[in-house]
Copies of this chain bind each other. A is one copy, B any other.
């Protein structure tokens, strides 16, 4: 458990990638993407001590690294390998609600074996992005004694490496995943029952991301439902979940504790960052935010959900 102390360090291990996005707002290529990019940029508004461990190819432009650095992200753990950078190409339907993966080129990411810098091994909070659970466990072996370990996963690992994933989950405090993945992992359709089953696998809290239906936090003490902000202008939902995770973990690093009340607030700061993220392509929606803008969006969430007590 994290104890209160300012500016805790946060490490995310994941992907830094190129995205080629097609959809109702046109085609955009070679965008800076990847789970770690969204995560760290979103988190950077809450803690100035966020580092990425990832790999890119020799085709990756320095400008993209500068973009991350400019947000205050420590990019020293982004290794450069010979070959191509991970590239994802997707096409969104006109309603932006469904998408189709057109192409996935793993490139150098296929051989990614995260090796933490000495300076990153003592991170207070660690987020294990969506990579092979064997590698996730290996990252934890390299770490000192993080106060909070969060992890993401996906169908591919749940179906293909369940045993290894189970082993990793024993050491994860907070698992973030979407509803489909939660159902698949727990082999249970009902989300509450699925979440409770996942809690018995190790994590003390589960965050179920449900896209425009918001996110559910299930923990020993209860359930919290964060709505998604109903937005009039959504341009690119790519990275929404990772922006959520970054805002969530960034706030925990900022707050310096993982009390239930803090985690509830973190669910909203996560939702805030996701809502900014989807308004623009790539990381543009996460750039140039001010404390005032974040506070106002947070207050909009409070207004969205507040209601008075019932007195019958």
Contacts of A265 in B (CB 8 A): 307-308, 310
Contacts of A134 in B (CB 8 A): none
| Minimal beta-carbon separation of A112 from chain B (angstroms) | 34
Chain A positions 191-221 with a Cβ under 8 Å from a chain B Cβ: 191-193, 210, 212-214, 216, 218
Decide if A157 is an interface residue (CB 8 Å cutoff). no
Contact (Cβ within 8 A) B232 A193? yes
A31-46: CB near B (< 8 Å → 1, else 0) gives 0000000000000001
Contact (Cβ within 8 A) A213 B213? yes
Q: Could you say which of B213, B225, B261, B268 contacts A304, with CB atoms under 8 Å apart?
A: B225
Decide if A185 is an interface residue (CB 8 Å cutoff). no
Q: How many angstroms from the CA of A264 to the CA of B307 in the assembled complex?
A: 6
Q: Could you say which of B232, B269, B304 contacts A310, with CB atoms under 8 Å apart?
A: B269
Contact (Cβ within 8 A) B307 A95? no
Q: How many angstroms from the CA of A204 to the CA of B191 in the assembled complex?
A: 35
Stretch of A10-18, A75-83, A168-176, A290-298 lying at the B interface: A290-298
| Minimal beta-carbon separation of A181 from chain B (angstroms) | 15
A96-123: CB near B (< 8 Å → 1, else 0) gives 1100000000000000000000000000
Q: Could you say which of B212, B224, B230 contacts A223, with CB atoms under 8 Å apart?
A: B230
| Minimal beta-carbon separation of A85 from chain B (angstroms) | 33
Contacts of A95 in B (CB 8 A): 189
Copies in the complex: 2
Contacts of A218 in B (CB 8 A): 230
Contacts of A264 in B (CB 8 A): 306-308
Q: How many angstroms from the CA of A190 to the CA of B25 in the assembled complex?
A: 14
Q: How many angstroms from the CA of A95 to the CA of B184 in the assembled complex?
A: 13
A223-260: CB near B (< 8 Å → 1, else 0) gives 11111001110100000000000000000001000000
| Minimal beta-carbon separation of A139 from chain B (angstroms) | 30
Decide if A141 is an interface residue (CB 8 Å cutoff). no
Decide if A302 is an interface residue (CB 8 Å cutoff). yes
Q: How many angstroms from the CA of A11 to the CA of B100 in the assembled complex?
A: 47
Given A192-B231, A264-B307, A295-B310: A213 touches B214 (CB 8 Å cut-off): yes
Contacts of A210 in B (CB 8 A): 213
Q: Could you say which of B298, B304, B306, B312 contacts A291, with CB atoms under 8 Å apart?
A: B312
| Minimal beta-carbon separation of A177 from chain B (angstroms) | 16
| Minimal beta-carbon separation of A110 from chain B (angstroms) | 35
Decide if A305 is an interface residue (CB 8 Å cutoff). yes
Contacts of A254 in B (CB 8 A): 312
5 smallest CB-CB distances across A and B, nearest first, come from A213-B213, A225-B227, A95-B189, A264-B307, A298-B310
Extra pairs beyond A225-B230, A268-B310 (11, CB < 8 Å): A191-B212, A213-B213, A223-B230, A223-B304, A224-B304, A225-B305, A226-B307, A227-B227, A261-B307, A294-B312, A295-B312
